[in-house]
Structure 1
Amino acid sequence: MKYKMQQKQNQRIQQITDCTLIVGADIAKETHVARAIDFRGIELGKECVFANDDEGLAKLVTWMKELQRLHGKTDIVFGVEPTGHYWFPLGAFIQELDVRFVLLNPHHVNKSKELEDNCPTKNDYKDAKVIANLVKDGKYTEPKLPTGVYADLRILMNLREKVMVNLGQVQQRIQNWLDRFFPEYTQVFKDWEGKASLITLRKSPLPQDLTSLGASEIVNQWKSSGVRRAVGMKRAKRLVSAAEKSIGLKEGLMAARLELTALLEQYEMFLRQRDEIMVQVEQLLNQIPGTEEMLSVPGMGVTTLAGFLAEVGDLQGYDHGQQIIRLAGLNLKENSSGKRKGKTGISKRGRSRLRALHFRAVLPMVATNPEFKALHHYYTTRACNPLKKKQSLIALCGKLIRVLHTLGTRQVQYNAEDLLGPIRKSQIQMAA
């Protein structure tokens, strides 16, 4: 049975009753503004302006309890528009109070602000009321804030992404250095990140250093540093020959040597951090049930699975894989009116990191996983409504999400015939 968004919307509206106090809060770095309404949209009491500290949160709790007492409300729904990372402490605090905490899409808040007073004015007081009204109409989502092992996993994968960005920048800067001072270097070492190459860059990076050392001394450097294979006198002679003919810069060599030393230190640091993070990530994955089954999918790696679980959290919190597809913004949308039928595309209303993760995962799967390869062939060559290649890849992203959800929740091994039923065994054989 497919997950129906309309049913979920009805459930949200039905949860707002005449006994519900609806609070909308506009979040800032230091000072927040909260306003309260009832299920008909009538504002209750004055707004509450509170600081982002212990005293401010205590003031908020007192204000909500007083409104509950005055108006006979038994439950509270607290809605915010997520502003950067500032809402995390407040969200955790509200959930500890056993109060329903919900999020509003900033795009919805921006588009709805003129419904309040027919004016494009935007300020904290107005936004708090707009947020409360959207909550009343059920236009919210309930965040799945990670806890336990999933909280650690999300922080580690976010950190890994930042480390990989920094690592990529350092790699480009080292390549930039080589292009300026020793452009012929990559003709000898195709990959400057190899062991022998890194030894050379640390001890004698400039062409003048290599020329003065000579081939025999260069080989001794490699051997004394533990390099036993793949490089020898022939490579050393080529390196010296390239250094003698180098057209690299001849000025600023002292500073250039210092620059490369600093870049190599950063490069080694980021590599070490990446490896340390992945060791911790693998330990966390071993604590999550269903990871072994999800890794049984051909082409699924530890990094991809860790990124997936870091974004979605506990898979038991989702009734159907379609919920995760919507979370990733991979659900379909179209603009149609009357007899005009518009083009279909993905909504992109969701976690962009999760969406990109699955697209990068599907690309190699189409080449190495027999079932996904067959599906891709079927989608792009079927007689009725064949898809373009990129459309097929997007469809396979949704298929991969549903497969992972099934394997993770039921904890069963990957089986192409059971989990990829729509392609049928004969189609797999034809594509193979």
Structure 2
Amino acid sequence: MGKGSGGSGMTRGDRRRNARRERLRELLPRDGAVIGIDLAEDKQAIAVIDHDVRVLARKTVRVKVFRLGEALDWAVGQARGEGFAAVTVACEPTGPRWMQVQRLCAERGLPLVCVQPLVSHIAREQQDYTTHKTDESDCVMIARLAAELHCYIPEELDETWAHLRNLGRRRAQLITAATASVQRIRDFLSVAWPAVTETCAEPFESRTWLAAMQLVTSQCGGQPALLAAMGEDAFTAAVRPMIGDWGGQKARGPISRRIFAALTDTEGVVASSRRGLLRRVADELGDLQRTRAQLRATEADMVTVLGELGLSRLADIPALSAVGAAAILAEAGDPRRYDSSSSLVKHAGLSPSENASGAFSGDAHISRRGRPGLRLAVWRAVWPMLQHNPVIAAKYQAMTRAADAAAAGAGSQQRTAAQAAARVRRAKSRVACAASLLRWIYCLVVHGTSWDPAVAAGSYH
């Protein structure tokens, strides 16, 4: 007996793929025409084809995308003139430009599908086995791929979801900028003042350390020892009012005192570069302060938008913050648009990519396809859950226990291989936990439920 009804052998995945292709076929009927558009900044290439990939008309216009309406009307007229009642537009999701095409199609009642750039890249090589690429040939290829259903229906965001997505991308940009500033400050101090980085265990997480460094680098003129004359108490008093600019409320005296003691420490200092590098440190601290302030404001806005969407209950998942949930949804969009939780996991590129043929079975790896920003947001969110979420922690320990025990009990000759196997197993377990987090979010949003550890652990009956 097969997996499907009547012994057909069809799986649930087969039925979902069939349904997806049926939805695409409704937008791209076999007796219709397809308008392929290759988007650029100031030049747009358009081709009209039938489902036998015969080019009916083509045109290249030098206009911005938001002024493409006249050329789009021309293409529709060409298709209707050839007797095609159904006309579908296809393009690549190139930057934000495709959203202008989506707007123009919505105003004209035209269906729109998108072709992934990766699909276009592979198809271009398959077409003539060369790297030949022009806008005029690409628009025909985009239309052909759409006619062959190698496309997808683009997401239509409402105002609130679009706001959340832009906030999420702004947050990612600010995190990258803050991390770059921290790395540069660390590099500069390793030459100009190495001893000061040892005054605190996590210096860039300490608001007192950052405020004291801002005070020193902005007033010392390249010679921190000059500030030693003000005395320890006066130095601490000067640091205290600067804490608020870093989002803190109270200065920590021990850290301030250790930095004051390091003012005269010249161990490892490259004297010729000290003045210039400390000036750069002062500038980078200013940039870091502004970036972190903007980051806090952006994250607060994301939490507010999460509440507007009625999804604040996602923060009830232990060890998942409201900001983390908002960051995931900013990249994923509304989970209701996915066919299943597995589709959401695939969109993040966290689904297993198997390597098997006949009797051969190779190692499985994650696909790394889909949306990298979503994968990164989930990866960041799952790390604290490995320890502080009881369901995720139990799952992670169960998946890694055997490998860790084998590594601990291995002899001297097998220890290296066993430890390497344990590291691989831990990495795969973290991926599985990240995928579980996405499935939880999908279920909570789509089914309107709240966090239940028994359901999350699969022990609910």
Q: TM-score, normalised by structure 2?
A: 0.81
Q: SS state of the match for residue 184, structure 1?
A: helix
Which residue of structure 1 aligns with residue 434 of structure 2? 397
Distance, in Å, in 2 between the alignment partners of 1:359 and 1:198 is: 28
The question of whether the paired residues in 1 share the 8 Å contact of 2:193 and 2:274 is answered with no
2:89 corresponds to 1:91: no
Give the aligned residue type for 1:264. L
Q: Secondary structure at the match of 1:153?
A: helix
SS in 2 for 1:388: helix
The residue correspondences of 1:253-332 to structure 2 (distance < 5 A) are 255-256=276-277, 258-289=279-310, 291-332=311-352
- Correspondence 1:32 to 2:44: yes
In 2, Cα distance between the equivalents of 1:131 and 1:159?
A: 31
1:112 aligns with 2:123: yes
The one-letter amino acid paired with 1:183 is P
2:39·2:65 contact (CA, 8 Å) conserved in 1? no
- Residue 179 of structure 1 pairs with residue 190 of structure 2: yes
8 A contact 1:13–1:136 mirrored in 2: no
Relative distance call for 1:398 and 1:199 in structure 2 (3 A) is closer
| Whole-Å separation in 1 of the counterparts to 2:13 and 2:316 | 26
- Letter paired with 1:321: S
Alignment equivalent of 1:208, drawn from 217, 222, 225: 225
Q: How far 1:14 sits from its partner (Å)?
A: 3.3
Q: What per-residue deviation string (whole Å, max 9, x for no partner) do you get for residues 225-277 of structure 1?
A: 68876416x963x5454333423344466545543332222122112111111
1:410 aligned residue: 447
Per the alignment, in what secondary structure is the counterpart of residue 77 of structure 1? strand
Q: Specify the alignment match of 1:430 in structure 2.
A: none
1:149 Cα deviation from its structure 2 partner: 0.8
Asked if the contact 1:207/1:246 (under 8 Å) is kept, the reply is no
| Corresponding position of 2:32 | 20
The equivalent residue for 1:429 is none
Q: Report if aligned partners of 2:161, 2:330 keep a CA contact under 8 Å in 1.
A: yes
| 8 Å contact from structure 1 (residues 298, 365) kept in 2 | yes
> Do the aligned residues in 2 keep the contact of 1:182 with 1:243 (CA within 8 Å)?
no
Aligned to 2:417: none
The 3-state SS of whatever aligns with 1:353 is helix
Cα–Cα, structure 1 residues 419 and 180, in superposed 2: closer, same or farther, change >3 Å? Answer: closer
Change in 2 beyond 3 A, CA 1:228/1:343: closer
Partner of 1:231: 253
In structure 2, the partner of 1:43 is 55
Change in Cα spacing, 1:407 to 1:246, as seen in structure 2 (3 Å) is same
In the other structure, the counterpart of 2:3 is: none
Residue identity in the other structure for 1:168: T
The question of whether the paired residues in 2 share the 8 Å contact of 1:153 and 1:310 is answered with yes
Counterpart code for 2:29: T
Is 1:420 aligned with 2:432? no
Deviation at 1:140, TM superposition (A): 0.6
Contact persistence 1:184–1:243 (CA under 8 A): no
> Residues of 1 paired with 2:388 and 2:433: CA distance?
14
Give the letter aligned to residue 309 of structure 1. L
User: Can you give the 5+ residue segments of structure 2 that lack an aligned partner in the other structure?
Assistant: 1-10, 218-222, 244-248, 404-421
Residue 10 to residue 382, structure 1, CA distance change in 2 (3 Å): farther
**Counterpart position of 1:138:** 149
Q: Is the 8 A contact 1:308 1:357 kept in 2?
A: yes
Cα distance in structure 1, aligned partners of 2:177 and 2:284: 11
Q: Which SS does the other structure have where 1:411 is aligned? A: coil
Q: Does 1:340 align with 2:363?
A: no
Counterpart secondary structure, 2:93: coil
**Conserved 8 A contact 2:48-2:79:** no
Give the drift of 1:298: 1.0
For 1:11, the equivalent position in structure 2 comes to 22
Instruction: Give 3-state SS (helix, strand or coil) of 2:361's partner.
Output: coil
Does the CA-based 8 Å contact 2:312-2:322 persist in structure 1?
Answer: no
Going from structure 1 to structure 2, the CA distance change for 1:180 and 1:339 (only over 3 Å counts) comes to closer
1:70, 1:184 → 2: CA distance?
A: 78
After superposition, give the CA deviation of every residue in 1:22-73 in whole Å (9 maximum; x if it has no partner).
Answer: 12121222111111222333322x2121234378513322223312321332
Structure 2: distance between partners of 1:69 and 1:180: 70
Q: Cα gap change, 1:147/1:3 in structure 2, threshold over 3 Å: closer, same or farther?
A: farther
**Deviation, structure 1 residue 75:** 2.6
Alignment equivalent of 2:70, drawn from 48, 52, 59 = 59
Please, what is the CA RMSD of the aligned residues? 3.1
SS of 1:94 mapped into structure 2? helix
For structure 1, list consecutive stretches of 5 or more residues without a partner in the other structure: 427-432
Distance in 1 of aligned mates of 2:232 and 2:143? 75
Contact 2:44 2:65 in 1 (8 A): no
Aligned partner letter, 2:295:
R
Q: Is the 8 A contact 1:12 1:138 kept in 2?
A: no
Distance 1:172-1:378 versus aligned 2 partners, 3 A rule: closer
SS at match of 2:33: strand
Higher relative contact order by CA 8 Å / sep ≥ 6: 1 or 2?
A: 1
* Alpha-carbon separation, structure 1, partners of 2:336 and 2:261: 63
